[in-house]
Structure 1
Amino acid sequence: MRVAVRIDRLRQPTRWEDWRFNIAEVVLDDGLFGGEQRVLRDDGHCTQWLFPDLPVSLHRDEAEGYYLNLSSGSPVWFVMWRVHHADPSLAWPEIVTLSYNEAGRWLDAQERVDNCPLDAPVRDALQDYVDANYRPEPKKRKRPASFVAPEDRR
């Protein structure tokens, strides 16, 4: 599937920040947004950028991450985004995923990751995918510690 990401940029939201970016929205992109990034609105204080045509792929080996996202109670899109090193007033989404585990790996790598709520049709389709492809690993029996008295073992 393909998605479009809207990033809002605020100019000097506090006296300590020149710019603040917010992943405002992620929506399915069925080709209506075109293929080029563009400014939707700029009032001098807030600029809204649209980044269309970003791919989102589902992989069987990430099924546990999708399951964890769905079972969190508030399923979300995870967006890894970057700020231009030479011009900190520019930012863009790099990758979008539905996997909780993949987003965790990005965070471990010190990447910027934000999320947006997942809409019902995508949530339902993701649930169908998880139902078809996710099988939890069976729990392994833990051997009792031989140095603990049997009545103290749990």
Structure 2
Amino acid sequence: MRHLKFGAPPASIQKAILNTLYRLNGHEARDNLLSLIVGSDIEIILEVGVANGLSFDYLDTDTLNNLLRAINEKSFHLLDFLLVIRYYKLKSNRRIALRFDFFLLRFLFDEGGGLNILAFHERGLQRISAKELIRFLVKETRLELSAKRELGSSF
């Protein structure tokens, strides 16, 4: 578990997390996450689902908008996600699927703008550690919060 302070209200942090995961969802991960994997011929794609009762909904535009509206009414005490990290070896202009990693993520919020993050590796070879994954997501979320502040947006 990792306790963090973002210096923002819980609703703003939650919106930043959702927007960050939505932005990363279905796209190739580069830079920090890719540097954790040995080999330059590996492609990493993140897939994100958000808990909805006993199942996970793919974090698409509709799901994102529904969650953002719900946060405008009342912020959540926790958010749970399923994060699948898909790995592909690139060979002769082809992608060969490697074993994927499945992580369960829990974000716990307190009223003072604090956040605890729990990450559980559920399945796969764990090519990326839970600690490194959290570090990557925190960095991306901080970038999202900074961008919104610079634009003068309240989300």
Please give the TM-score of this superposition, normalised by the length of structure 1.
Answer: 0.25
Which protein is bigger by CA-based radius of gyration?
1
- For CA contacts below 8 A with separation 6 or more, give which structure has more relative contact order: 2
More helix by share: 2
**TM-score of the superposed pair, with normalisation by structure 2:** 0.25
